Amino acid sequence: MAKTDKIKYLIIGNSAGGIGAAEAIRELDKAGTMAIVSDEPYPAYSRPLISEHLFEGRPLERMLYRAPDFYEQNNIQAVFGEKVAQVDFSGHSLKLESGRSLAWQKLLLATGGVPIVPRMEGGDAKDVFTFTRLDDAKAIDKFLNKHKGKTQALVIGGGLIGVSATEALVRRGVKVCIVEMKDWILNTILDEEGAALEAKALVEADVDIITGHTVAKINKSPSGAVDGAVLDDGRSIAADLVVVAIGVTPRLELADGQLKTNRGIIVDRRMATSQPDVYACGDVAEAYDFVFGENRVTPVWPNAYVGGRIVGQNMAGGKAEYQGGTAMNSLKYFGVNIVSAGMVAPPDKSYEVIIQRGDGIYKKVILKDGLITGLVFAGDIEKSGIIYNLMKDKVRVDGFKEELVSDDFGLASLPEEIWRARLAVPPSEEAFIVPPVEPPEEVVMDE
Ligand SMILES: Cc1cc2nc3c(=O)[nH]c(=O)nc-3n(C[C@H](O)[C@H](O)[C@H](O)COP(=O)(O)OP(=O)(O)OC[C@H]3O[C@@H](n4cnc5c(N)ncnc54)[C@H](O)[C@@H]3O)c2cc1C
């Protein structure tokens, strides 16, 4: 195939990473051919909003990440509802499951993550769901509409996705039991004390939480439906549906054996993989983490978008370097405001921890050699953005570290040379971008 027949920019994955890349490409190259392939049949939507789809029926039109005519306006061929089966990296082509082949000059893998579903007896029962895609939310919605009345759900895993699913189910009138293998819920993004505030709100909403245990078996009725479950200690749990939310792992199926991978696809600071002309970003990639000073998987929306923008610039001939991201979460489940970023627990005694506690309030900052390496704010998150930026910009805070968690902390608490510089320089684009909970007005589609 002649080089000119090849799609100039081919993107696999139509979500935060893929859209970031497409936008950055079009800022530099208005005409080069571009296609986005996705096995989901929808235009890009905000994944965190699938919970709102489930609990209040929020329609796709009000979940869209970009205007409905985004693809047309940007001259992007949208190949949706089609799965890429195989990529020939050296031959610069790929095969779709439908049998069609596409040839490309530059390729981006923004394939995200895939939910981990452990093998367990009864795991193939009819009403066992995952909760990472709009179609998952639709499937659970269909189940609830069919089984009106008293429904009980078992949510396996008390991480961000499990708690997000729980909130939606509770608001639909479902009695939920969360079973979490570790000692506390949200353990990858919160320490024990921060998580206790969230757990209290869950219990007040009549959610049962069982920690330190896992599910050994899902019982199936003769018709194949879920009929309760049994825990590893033999306890029985009543349930009519199960949501498996024990985690998400980078979706490496296209890369395996052909690209350098660790937990995710390894990329350099240009977000380039080990194969020429092939890039990766978002939840599938292991990119630079500025807190840990190494490449890590940091599966949050803003990192995927910013990483995608770096890819796009490089695909279009620019020279952009990713400054690094870190795990950063801003949540409000069951009315509790929580922000965490970087390390949530000190890895050893060489770290210092500053804590302030109040009624329903918990603020913790972790420091090493005068620099912030992590934060957990629950209840009162107002100043967490300033702390995050001090961490990101590697500002020494030794002189005022106790102030960081005080009630009246603000820019004015910082030494003059720091707050003056901060007022002069507007926060960088990637600093503390809260995920798109509400799409912009212009995204709303005509009926
Ligand atoms: C319920 C839930 C709540 C969340 N809440 C938050 C939050 O509050 N804040 C936050 O920052 N982050 C949140 N996240 C995480 C955030 O959604 C992800 O970090 C972000 O979506 C990653 O974007 P991405 O572009 O890397 O990949 P994804 O959004 O995972 O998209 C990848 C796309 O690629 C497609 N794809 C993969 N392989 C193929 C193939 N072979 N062929 C065709 N298409 C393929 C997938 O189907 C998918 O559409 C949440 C996630 C979930 C599930």
Is any atom of ligand 1 closer than 6 Å to the C-beta of 326?
Answer: no
**Interval between CA 444 and ligand 1 midpoint (Å):** 21
Task: Output the pLDDT for position 424.
Answer: 54
**How far is Cα 309 from Cα 16, in angstroms, rounded to an integer?**
10
Which residue has a Cα nearest atom 27 of ligand 1? Answer: 112
Which residue has a Cα nearest atom 34 of ligand 1? Answer: 13
**How far is Cα 433 from Cα 302, in angstroms, rounded to an integer?**
6
Is any atom of ligand 1 closer than 6 Å to the C-beta of 132?
Answer: yes
- Of 135, 142, 178, whose CA–CA distance to 334 is shortest? 178
H/E stretch holding 64 reads: none
**Interval between CA 299 and ligand 1 midpoint (Å):** 8
Is any atom of ligand 1 closer than 6 Å to the C-beta of 157?
Answer: no
Q: Could you tell me the sign of the dihedral formed by the alpha carbons of 307, 430, 246, 130, in that order?
A: negative
Q: What percent of the chain has pLDDT over 90?
A: 86
Average confidence score pLDDT of the chain = 91
Using CB atoms within 10 Å of the CB of residue 399, give its burial: 0 to 12 exposed, 13 to 18 middle, 19+ buried.
Answer: exposed
227 in Cβ contact with 236 (< 8 Å):
no
- State the CB neighbour count (10 A cutoff) for residue 307: 30
- DSSP-derived secondary structure for 353-408: EEEEEETTEEEEEEEETTEEEEEEEES--TTHHHHHHHHHTT---GGGGGGGGSTT
Is any atom of ligand 1 closer than 6 Å to the C-beta of 325?
Answer: no
Domains of the chain: 7-114+249-325 (3.50.50.60), 117-246 (3.50.50.60), 338-424 (3.30.390.30)
**How far is Cα 179 from Cα 189, in angstroms, rounded to an integer?**
17
Intervals of the chain under pLDDT 50:
1-4, 425-447
Is any atom of ligand 1 closer than 6 Å to the C-beta of 432?
Answer: no
pLDDT in tens, 355-375: 999 999 999 999 999 999 999
Task: Output the pLDDT for position 410.
Answer: 76
**Model pTM score:** 0.92
Which residue has a Cα nearest atom 38 of ligand 1? Answer: 111
273 in Cβ contact with 259 (< 8 Å):
yes
Task: Output the pLDDT for position 309.
Answer: 97
